[in-house]
Amino acid sequence: IKINNDISYNDAKDEIKRLVEDAVKLRLRSDVSIGCYLSGGIDSSVVSSVASQNLKDLNTYTFTSKAFPKQDESELAKKSSNYINSNHHEIELKFNEILKLWKESVYYMDEPELGYSLIPQMEISKKVSENLKVVLGGQGGDELFYGYSWHTQIATSFIKNLKDFSFTNKLKTLKN
């Protein structure tokens, strides 16, 4: 991969937009119906938005859970769905279902995962697969584009600490 460090901010924005749109459009080539997972974060909202511009009657899916209100992103997903005019579906997970799915989700993990997001993702995938075989998501984009406020807090803290970091100090620490 050739990296251009001299690109302007506006040119970089345009290039990222082009790359994301191309990536989503490429994945919309299908002989079957396509839907999108929509959490309300930047990643799934962008993917769903591009898909909605290129498909008629896009169906979007999110989970909701009264048992875990802090992790319930259904309100954000609803706002995103209204904005892109998708047919939005909420799949509710109850506390007892989440506990039951815990053991099954651990079985399917390739590696340990922090948090419990795999459980709702697994259940939504099961339910959505009853009607669809292709569903787009945005896994990883929130981390790259600071999709949640806590990402910004981590990045700000990292940059602040980076000012105090020097290669010489690091070598001295390793030497001792």
Strand-by-strand arrangement of the 34-37 sheet: 87-92, 59-64, 34-37, 134-136
* pTM for the full predicted model: 0.76
Q: Give tens-digit pLDDT for 11-20.
A: 988 998 999 9
- What tens digit of pLDDT does each residue of 111-157 get? 766 666 777 788 888 899 999 999 998 876 666 666 666 656 766 67
The contacts of residue 76 (CB under 8 Å, 6+ apart) are 39, 40, 41
| Helical axes 42-54 vs 9-27, angle rounded to 10° | 60
